[in-house]
């Protein structure tokens, strides 16, 4: 008999604690819900004062002078997100101009190859790379692979 009375008492105590927690949670939610966004920005708002004490709210510092000066005087107009890109400043190259540009690039590439081949470490590296490639081709694959 004693066991059932203690169990019932623990159950009632647990129910009372749960009821108190629920009441406090509902009261806190009502207070937070009643505060509008505009009221939250006011300095004399009691909810914001409580939140500052708890550490959940802060005051935004005043903007530096260079920030204020760099901002536009009025709000910018609506800028559409998916607008077509602006047209290029120069027109597209004609076939003749494009082939001349390719020829210039080819001549620069040939000069760079000549300089590179005259540089001894580069020539040695190319020779080693070619030798390794020949070695790999001439070595037959073993049966285990």
Q: Which residue has the tokens 């949670």?
A: 25
Cβ atoms 31, 47 nearer than 8 A: yes
Cβ atoms 84, 69 nearer than 8 A: no
Q: How far apart are alpha carbons 53 and 57 in whole angstroms?
A: 8
- Nearest-Å Rg of the Cα atoms of the chain is 39
Token reading at 8: 């019932």
Cβ atoms 105, 113 nearer than 8 A: no
pTM of the predicted protein model:
0.28
Q: What pLDDT, on a 0 to 100 scale, did the predictor assign at position 91?
A: 87
- pLDDT of residue 87 exceeding 90, the answer is no
Q: Each residue of 110-121: pLDDT tens digit?
A: 999 888 878 878
H helices present in the chain, as ranges: 2-34, 37-41, 46-54, 65-70, 95-118, 120-138
Q: Each residue of 37-71: pLDDT tens digit?
A: 555 555 567 888 888 888 888 888 899 999 999 98
Q: What pLDDT, on a 0 to 100 scale, did the predictor assign at position 103?
A: 96
What band does 8 get if pLDDT is binned at 50, 70 and 90?
confident
Token reading at 50: 């409580």
Q: Which of 63, 22, 56 is nearest to 45 (CA)?
A: 56
Delimit the domains of the chain by residue range. 1-58, 95-137
């Amino acid at each position: 008999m004693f066991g059932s009375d203690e169990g019932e008492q623990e159950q009632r105590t647990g129910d009372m604690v749960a009821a108190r927690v629920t009441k406090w949670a509902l009261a806190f939610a009502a207070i937070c819900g009643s505060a509008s966004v505009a009221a939250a920005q006011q300095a004399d708002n009691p909810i914001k004062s409580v939140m500052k004490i708890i550490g959940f709210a802060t005051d935004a510092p005043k903007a530096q002078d260079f920030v204020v000066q760099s901002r536009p005087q009025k709000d910018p107009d609506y800028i559409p997100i998916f607008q077509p890109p602006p047209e290029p400043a120069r027109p597209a190259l004609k076939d003749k101009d494009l082939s001349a540009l390719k020829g210039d690039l080819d001549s620069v590439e040939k000069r760079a190859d000549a300089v590179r081949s005259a540089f001894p470490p580069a020539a040695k590296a190319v020779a080693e790379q070619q030798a390794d490639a020949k070695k790999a081709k001439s070595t037959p694959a073993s049966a285990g692979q």
